[in-house]
Structure 1
């Protein structure tokens, strides 16, 4: 069970979200206690993990409010920390997914014909991971987007002069310029891709090896020719 839930395919309720955050709190607290011992961990890594867990103590807004750009930034920052430590359910999940991916496509598994399967598997990871993330943040769109997300509305007085009206309109135009197109991939790619990049890059390199050889052969041939 992930986040204490056995069936992530069902419709989410506030009770599911509250239960998931309780699981997170328990694991993060247990992680802080484990780090107090510090056995088997280098001092630098210990400090990094401690700072990460401290950053996870503040829970972002996770209701079903209308999503805005500030919320997306806050959620993104939280997920980056959560997925970077084994003392968070999301971090444990990501670590397991990365281990499986690397075991499948490194060494004997590194074959150009497997590139297509690796890309599909990565997309499947994103889809399933997003379903888990939505348990914690139900304000995120159920279909993963794309969704236009706007800055939070600003409270302001009614313009009483031409100058105030111009400033008001300028503020609206500035907000429109800050519109963000949200997608599940845009949220999770920066978190997952750096962890699986090496084997994925190797597969792309193997897949395009013949084209690369032809390219460098032509470059070498051109370099041998005289400029005259």
Structure 2
């Protein structure tokens, strides 16, 4: 009986590792997408965030997220930094686990609480743990201080008066510290880029898997053919 070719374990291991990496990266790219909530947008307000449980409970009672009509998975009080890291906001939104010792933010583009990967909350005092619930952001107020101290981006405009004099004027891109005046086009572009990246990685995995399967089948057919020829030669003798 002809023996079937044995596929090297390294091929399976490589494919498995690649799939695990893809799965982990997909979760990173898509974190927050599964809890997107349109109703959260109407509750966004620039606010100074509470810095202890007593203040947090008072703010949560005043916001009263539970009484607001919504279609979200959950509707919980949060006070976090905005996605531009130049202010803080309170909002009613589904909670999520913030991982990797980062700060929690609310993204108006993704309509959800998200992990801000540009922050390193482990260096703040008190430091963020490896993971925590987003509703407990008040425990790690170093994130708030970082957002308050972040300078607002400015753009310089050159204007010429009627007399011909040139005037340079600086204008802030964000009009209110802690506000929500951000370009929606940027958030939309980020969403599209992340989706495209995930799709491209998935296609690459499918192509690699297809090539491996094709080579396995061709090797198996070749092995069967060699075995049949050997058997015919023995019968001829």
Interval of TM-score (by shorter of Structure 1 and Structure 2): under 0.3
- Answer 1 or 2: which has greater helix percent: 1
Q: Would you tell me which structure has more strand in proportion to its own residues?
A: 2
Q: Which has the higher contact order (CA 8 A, sep 6+)?
A: 1
TM-score by length of 1: 0.23
